[in-house]
């Protein structure tokens, strides 16, 4: 596994590409939007410079990582020689299925196809291809370069060889991995969505301020980040998509908090919009 392609140049795609390049992989980052690609390149180079300035990496490592990265708006060109493709687009099954059908057509037969998803089914995504045994979910966490975990989720037809390949891939990226059998929400999202949704309900009910709810979980339960802060970081629209999926598949306890729905309708999406449970402007 030498050549990696990452599909989607948003926050997660950029983070995966950055981490993979620093780990020695040749990386092609794809997005259909040229402006997204330019923003991704600027963001990655800025992060490399900051990491070098702070002493986390040296200048030679930063320069080597830059040389490992290519930015490509044509999907076929981005993946035609890939050993592994990691898709990191919106959490929408129709979109992911469409991309995986194209990946199946454009990629070499040996290519492993991974979806970076926090809730969706690798079995359903893999069924849209002629290589379901090579389709798997790799759930990275934000920010990718800091978070140590990758959740590896097997679909119904995912082979043990594919699991081994992505476990090795995670190790080369200096990550720990856990292996999960497919079930809606996997391990982390299923727990995290419950905690976050209850925090939103408590805030809506006036139990405590957003700051105090987050402070209580950070200091009382040793969470590194409060659940409302985390929801803002992830994006409230993304969190609502996850909650709706879990509500549809797992039932009433995952019904999205009405305040979350209201915030998304108002365009208050968290950090990326400048306002959510906190104001970032």
Residues 149-188: tens digit of each pLDDT:
999 999 999 999 999 999 999 999 999 999 998 888 889 9
Find out whether 274 is annotated in a ligand binding site: no
Fold classified for 187-273 = 1.10.1040
13 annotated as a binding-site residue: yes
* Alpha carbons 264 and 271: distance in angstroms, whole number: 13
pLDDT at residue 126, as a whole number: 96
Given pLDDT bands bounded at 50, 70 and 90, which one contains residue 2?
Answer: confident
What global pTM score does this model have?
A: 0.85
Task: Supply the pLDDT for residue 207.
Answer: 98
Give the three-state DSSP class for 250.
helix
pLDDT for the residue numbered 81: 96
What residue segments make up the domains of the chain, in order of their start? 3-181, 187-273
Please report the pLDDT score of residue 114 as a whole number.
98
Q: Is 142 annotated as a binding residue?
A: yes
Q: 3-181 maps to which CATH number?
A: 3.40.50.720
Q: Please check if 91 is assigned to a binding site.
A: yes
Cis peptide before 143 (omega within 30 of 0): yes
Q: Is 251 annotated as a binding residue?
A: no
Cβ atoms of 220 and 213 closer than 8 Å: no
Question: Does 8 show up as a binding residue in the annotation?
Answer: yes
127 burial class (0-12, 13-18, 19+ CB within 10 angstroms)? middle
**Does residue 272 have a known ligand-binding role?**
yes
CA distance 93 to 100: 10
- The pLDDT tens digits of the residues spanning 195-222 come to 999 999 999 999 999 999 999 999 999 9
State both tokens at 82.
Answer: 């890939």
Environment class of 190 (CB within 10 Å of its CB; exposed 0-12, middle 13-18, buried 19+):
middle
Is 11 marked as a binding-site residue? yes
């Amino acid at each position: 596994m030498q050549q990696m392609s990452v599909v989607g140049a948003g926050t997660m795609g950029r983070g995966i590409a950055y981490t993979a390049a620093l780990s020695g992989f040749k990386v092609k980052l794809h997005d259909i939007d040229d402006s997204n690609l330019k923003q991704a390149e600027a963001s990655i180079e800025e992060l490399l410079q900051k990491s070098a300035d702070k002493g986390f990496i040296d200048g030679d490592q930063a320069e080597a990582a830059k040389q490992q990265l290519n930015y490509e708006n044509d999907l076929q060109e981005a993946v035609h020689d890939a050993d592994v493709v990691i898709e990191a687009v919106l959490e929408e099954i129709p979109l992911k299925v469409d991309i995986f059908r194209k990946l199946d057509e454009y990629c070499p037969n040996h290519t492993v196809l991974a979806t970076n998803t926090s809730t969706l089914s690798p079995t359903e995504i893999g069924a849209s291809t002629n290589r379901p045994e090579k389709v798997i979910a790799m759930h990275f966490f934000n920010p990718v370069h800091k978070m140590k975990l990758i959740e590896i989720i097997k679909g119904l037809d995912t082979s043990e060889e594919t699991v081994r390949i992505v476990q090795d891939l995670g190790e080369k990226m200096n990550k720990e991995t856990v292996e999960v059998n497919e079930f809606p929400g996997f391990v982390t999202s299923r727990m995290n969505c419950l905690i976050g949704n209850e925090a939103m309900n408590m805030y809506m009910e006036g139990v405590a301020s957003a700051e105090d709810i987050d402070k209580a979980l950070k200091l009382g339960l040793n969470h590194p980040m409060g659940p409302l802060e985390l929801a803002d970081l992830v994006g409230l629209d993304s969190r609502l998509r996850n909650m709706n999926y879990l509500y549809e598949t797992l039932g009433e306890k995952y019904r999205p908090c009405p305040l979350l729905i209201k915030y998304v309708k108002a365009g208050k999406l968290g950090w990326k919009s400048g306002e959510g449970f906190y104001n970032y402007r």
